[in-house]
């Protein structure tokens, strides 16, 4: 599996993520990192990685242009500016946006070490999730029954558009005040193997299961393309929360 970590400068977070996934992946991942406007790797980044017990010999800053001719299974962005490049300039089957504060802007002591530890926890979750991933076996009957509910269908379409959505965002988009009701439908879709989830702090984010059969993914995306009015109001409510996902999450979940 080929993974690219993308950031603006490729001098701190993405370099840390590259080193950590190489370590935890134990050779199962081909890992690269790059920057949209790269600078030399920050010495504090290398010091934190070495203090963690990992080698830094092969870590260096690279420009996004150096990897645009490659195909990646996952492109993982670590800042908002890099996320904008994910769909436009990088060939990736899955694009994930991880929210980590730049250690250079963190005011507390040992900021680089703390960022490394936080990334380490996320990387371990990513590796564990990958190791558990097996192609799901869903019968057409179960799949179409899952679509035969307004909340479940609209949730799937919104997730297909947004790539990843938290429960509170779906509550706002669906104009549904009952969090247990929305969560119950999402849990059913996860149990059936249609959705995957991850937890970040107090929030749970849902995305389409990457091992979902292609024809099922195409059915969902085809509905979005051919019936855009079906979720027009829901997307409008979601977009009204703002374009910045962390801001939206804070606004709707706190």
Reply yes or no on whether 79 is catalytic.
Answer: yes
What CA–CA distance (Å, rounded) separates 140 from 128? 28
Under 8 Å between Cβ of 34 and 66: yes
What CA–CA distance (Å, rounded) separates 230 from 60? 47
- Residue 172 phi/psi, 5° resolution? -65, -45
Query: Tokens 């855009």 sit at which residue?
Result: 228
Q: From the candidates 7, 95, 166, 252, which is the catalytic residue?
A: 7
CA torsion angle 180 185 187 188 (round to 10): 140
SS3 1: coil
User: To 5 degrees, how large is the angle CA 10–CA 13–CA 17?
Assistant: 100
How many CB atoms within 10 Å of residue 202?
Answer: 10
Nearby residues of 42 by Cβ (< 8 Å), 6 or more positions away: 11, 12, 104, 112
- Cα 168 to chain centroid, rounded: 17
Reply yes or no on whether 7 is catalytic.
Answer: yes
Under 8 Å between Cβ of 36 and 84: no
Reply yes or no on whether 252 is catalytic.
Answer: no
Q: From the candidates 79, 95, 166, 168, which is the catalytic residue?
A: 79
Helix, strand, coil percent values for the chain (each to nearest 5)? 55, 15, 30
The catalytic residues are 7, 79, 86
């Amino acid at each position: 599996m080929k993974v690219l970590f993308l950031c603006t400068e490729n001098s701190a977070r993405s370099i840390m993520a590259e080193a950590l996934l190489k370590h935890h992946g134990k050779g199962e991942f081909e890992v690269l990192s790059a920057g949209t406007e790269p600078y030399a790797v920050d010495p504090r980044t290398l010091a934190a990685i070495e203090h963690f017990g990992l080698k830094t010999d092969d870590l260096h800053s690279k420009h996004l242009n150096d990897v645009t001719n490659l195909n990646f299974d996952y492109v993982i962005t670590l800042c908002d500016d890099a996320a904008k490049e994910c769909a436009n300039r990088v060939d990736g089957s899955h694009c994930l946006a991880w929210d980590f504060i730049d250690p250079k802007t963190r005011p507390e002591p040992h900021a680089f070490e703390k960022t490394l530890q936080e990334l380490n926890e996320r990387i371990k979750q990513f590796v564990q999730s990958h190791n558990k991933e097996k192609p799901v076996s869903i019968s057409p009957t179960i799949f179409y029954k899952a679509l035969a509910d307004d909340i479940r269908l609209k949730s799937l379409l919104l997730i297909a558009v947004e790539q990843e959505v938290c429960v509170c965002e779906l509550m706002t988009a669906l104009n549904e005040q009952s969090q247990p009701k929305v969560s119950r439908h999402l849990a059913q879709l996860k149990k059936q193997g249609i959705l995957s989830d991850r937890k970040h702090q107090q929030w749970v984010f849902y995305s389409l299961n990457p091992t979902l059969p292609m024809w099922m993914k195409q059915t969902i995306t085809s509905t979005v393309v051919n019936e855009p009015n079906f979720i027009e109001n829901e997307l409008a409510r979601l977009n009204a929360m703002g374009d910045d996902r962390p801001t939206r999450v804070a606004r709707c979940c706190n």
